[in-house]
Structure 1
């Protein structure tokens, strides 16, 4: 560590005390000592300056290295946020026992393991009257209400009390848990006590849910409906049913992975499934394979 100014001063004072003085018989020695002292002081001063520059240089390098590290970290976050998720979709009817089996035996257990790797959607099966454009459901109007409630839960602005220009929707794990809760007791859909209980369990705003599902204005002729900030249950249902019809999906429950049918649960049996059944490990393994392939 270079000497402090005080230490340098004391050293010069000590040397002056014991140096030859002018006027003595050692004038030439006095001059020579002064030259040596000046040289030492110059070297010492240069050493201090060099040490300061080195410290400054190293400090700047540390700042630069930290900047590079932050830049690399930000780049990694950008790459992570830009990952390609695998499409996974389940087409169901809310009052269907096959939908209950499908969610409980395959979809929910799989999603617990691969929710971060998939773009999951829950769609509904029904029909749209050509005469009235009304949506009709296989198990009656109460099933249509159940479908709307589940769709509203998935499309409400999140967090629950947000208003205005929120673009966030209810997290998939919450909305899927809510759907599974309702369909787990599908005979009671759309009982208010059941809906309130499931909404409370999964952090869904019941009042907002009720408002969305009960609105009469379905925006049939409005291409912007349902709007992200003001979802309408009937508009969400019509859009979902039309989507399933466009894909030719008619059986509840049909699971589609990467835009292809992966497995069907119909009349209490699994069909068209790899391995012949609704194998959770097989679905998880295929999702992980596709995800790794597209995110190398």
Structure 2
């Protein structure tokens, strides 16, 4: 199938989605800056991508969550709120052109608007509403972060970050490959660039590698090809 023919087909027929994974700390300024850039990226590639966050922490069985968070226990609470929001993001009726993970991502974007209050219950409640969570989804997320599963969720998330050797918030991976780090207020070690357009191109190129199709309706003209 040619790229032109494929560009008009539904995304579901094209192949699997490309995962954008970020290793972050919920109260880290660099995470907030990186998430703002990824929000621009997702606005363009959401129909061929999935977004997932893992949360960096240090293992310590004597801490309340079995994890020590760099910015204190309130950051651990923020990490847990975001993990639980992501888990129950898909609860409720589907929205046209909205992905199952979108409500969880909106929740994070909402929290980032009141950065100093991340981890506090009042902000989480506000962000459930702003992100469009159903009453059921919000209730399940609340039960999640106050229930017994949160320790294992936070441990598993920190273990994934450790496995990726991601100790700096924020570290970006696209389709399982290291892509870029935001640290100290700037992007560093970013083969392929650090602008939103650069990350979009990386997602599109990863999609082409696994599907053998360039989704021109999403990604624009394929680089290197002549167009009339």
Under TM normalisation by the shorter chain, which class is it?
A: 0.7 to 0.9
Indicate whether 1:254 and 2:171 are aligned. Answer: yes
Q: Quick one: distance in 2 between partners of 1:200 and 1:96?
A: 24
Indicate whether 1:206 and 2:138 are aligned. Answer: yes
- Superposed CA offset, 1:44-88 (max 9, x none): xxxxxxxxxxxxxxxxxxxxxxxxxxxxxxxx87x9346022221
User: What's the CA shift for 1:290?
Assistant: 2.0
User: Structure 1 regions of 5+ residues with no counterpart?
Assistant: 1-75, 162-169, 218-231
Count of residue pairs brought into register by the alignment: 195
- Superposed CA offset, 1:228-266 (max 9, x none): xxxx32221111011101111100000111222211111
Match of 2:155 in 1: 238
Structure ID, larger Rg: 1
Match of 2:196 in 1: 280
Higher RCO structure, 1 or 2 (CA under 8 Å, sep 6+)? 2
Match of 2:216 in 1: none
Aligned partners of 2:192 and 2:202 also within 8 Å: no
User: What's the CA shift for 1:115?
Assistant: 1.4
What is the Cα-based RMSD across aligned positions, in Å? 2.3
Match of 2:53 in 1: 122
Q: Quick one: distance in 2 between partners of 1:143 and 1:101?
A: 17
- Give 2:122's match in structure 1, choosing from 166, 180, 193: 193
User: What's the CA shift for 1:184?
Assistant: 3.0
Aligned partners of 1:143 and 1:189 also within 8 Å: yes
Q: Call closer, same or farther: CA 1:235–1:80 in 2, change over 3 Å.
A: same
Tell me which protein shows more helix as a share of its residues.
1
TM-score by length of 2: 0.77
